[in-house]
């Protein structure tokens, strides 16, 4: 497929083997994933372990479909229009996937600043498209924010993103992290934050503290105005009891084709409190 074919530059540049370098999620990619998942139902698992090309295994390894869903709100904000403002991406990861999303979709950003304690080393060169700065530092201390403000010539960023970051620190450090976000933001800054909000007990090995939905809501309301909150994915156990009869009827009909993980992604935005991960859109009071 040519890079500028009918399915678009961004779809062509997606790497479906690794969710951390997703660009904008094109509808064709959702369709492909759903079809692949549907086919796998008819075949038993391999006796010697999963195949490298096994779609459910890829997703289980990296929460593939949920990550696709998580990037969709960003696509609406950043990709649906030229975003001429500045973006401070906190906990950007070593590959800085949000920067890549902007780059592969040919968006114009005034300045992208990625911050991560490991230091970002993206496998792409977005600097030819827009200014990029990568800072290595601890987002729970003010030093790295001071560096970011120097890059921004003292102006608060237009956007702040933090995806899947706060769960990698203690609750106390998470409080400091939120304080720093509130301090570096300005009255016109849009803040987008996402994090798991499961039971706080069954944690992945690299999660230090997972906020509950209600606990994080309270902490955010102390510092910000919550403009929007949507779930990004949910489990059947948590989601199905919350569905209305009409929604359950839709679930049952769609489940003839879609698997539960895809359905959980589709309906999770309606029930953030029942979801295992949600995204918050915030601003200063």
For domain 9-283, give the CATH number.
Answer: 3.40.50.150
CB proximity list for 6: less than 8 A, separation 6 or greater: none
CB 33 within 8 A of CB 266: no
User: What confidence score (pLDDT) does residue 175 get?
Assistant: 98
User: What confidence score (pLDDT) does residue 85 get?
Assistant: 87
| pLDDT tens over the chain, length 285 residues | 334 443 444 444 444 444 434 445 555 555 555 655 555 555 555 454 444 334 444 444 445 566 666 666 666 666 555 567 899 999 999 988 888 877 776 777 889 999 999 999 888 888 888 899 999 999 999 999 999 999 999 999 999 999 889 999 999 999 999 999 999 999 999 999 999 886 667 777 788 999 999 999 999 999 999 999 988 888 888 999 999 999 999 999 998 888 776 787 888 889 999 998 889 999 999
The per-residue DSSP string of the chain comes to: --TTSTT-HHHHT--TT-GGG--S--HHHHHHHHHHHHHHTTSPPPTT---TT-HHHHHHHHTHHHHHHHHHHHIIIIISS---SEEEEET--TT-HHHHHHHHTT---SEEEEEETT----SS-GGGTS-EEEEES-TTSSHHHHHHHHHTTTPPPSEEEEES-GGGS-HHHHHHHHHHHHHH--TT-EEEEEEE-S-SSS--TT-S----HHHHHHHHHTT-EEEEEEEEE--HHHHGGGS-HHHHHHHHHHTTTS-HHHHHHHHGGG-GGGSSEEEEEEE--
User: What confidence score (pLDDT) does residue 253 get?
Assistant: 94
User: What confidence score (pLDDT) does residue 87 get?
Assistant: 93
pTM: 0.80
User: What confidence score (pLDDT) does residue 19 get?
Assistant: 41
């Amino acid at each position: 497929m040519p890079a500028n074919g009918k399915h678009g530059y961004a779809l062509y540049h997606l790497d479906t083997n690794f969710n951390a370098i997703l660009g904008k999620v094109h509808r064709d990619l959702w369709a492909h994933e759903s079809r692949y998942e549907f086919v796998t139902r008819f075949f038993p698992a391999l006796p010697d372990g999963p195949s490298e090309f096994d779609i459910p295994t890829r997703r289980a390894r990296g929460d593939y479909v949920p990550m696709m869903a998580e990037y969709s709100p960003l696509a609406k904000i950043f990709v649906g229009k030229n975003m001429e403002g500045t973006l401070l991406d906190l906990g950007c990861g070593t590959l800085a996937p949000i920067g890549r999303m902007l780059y592969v979709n040919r968006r114009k950003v005034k300045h992208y600043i990625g911050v991560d304690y490991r230091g970002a080393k993206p496998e792409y060169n977005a600097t030819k498209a827009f200014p990029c700065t990568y800072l290595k530092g601890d987002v729970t201390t003010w030093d790295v924010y001071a560096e970011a403000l120097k890059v921004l010539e003292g102006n608060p960023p237009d956007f702040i993103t933090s995806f899947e970051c706060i769960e990698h620190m203690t609750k106390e450090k998470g409080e400091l992290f939120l304080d720093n976000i509130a301090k570096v933001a300005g009255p016109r800054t849009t803040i987008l934050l996402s994090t798991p909000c499961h039971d706080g007990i069954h944690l992945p090995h690299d999660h230090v503290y997972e906020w509950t939905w209600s606990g994080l809501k309270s902490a955010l309301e102390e510092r910000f105005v919550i403009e929007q909150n949507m779930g990004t994915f949910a489990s059947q156990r948590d989601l199905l009891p919350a569905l209305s009869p009409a929604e359950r009827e839709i679930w049952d009909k769609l489940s003839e084709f879609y698997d539960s993980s895809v359905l959980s992604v589709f309906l999770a935005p309606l029930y953030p409190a029942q979801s295992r991960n949600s995204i918050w859109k915030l601003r200063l009071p």
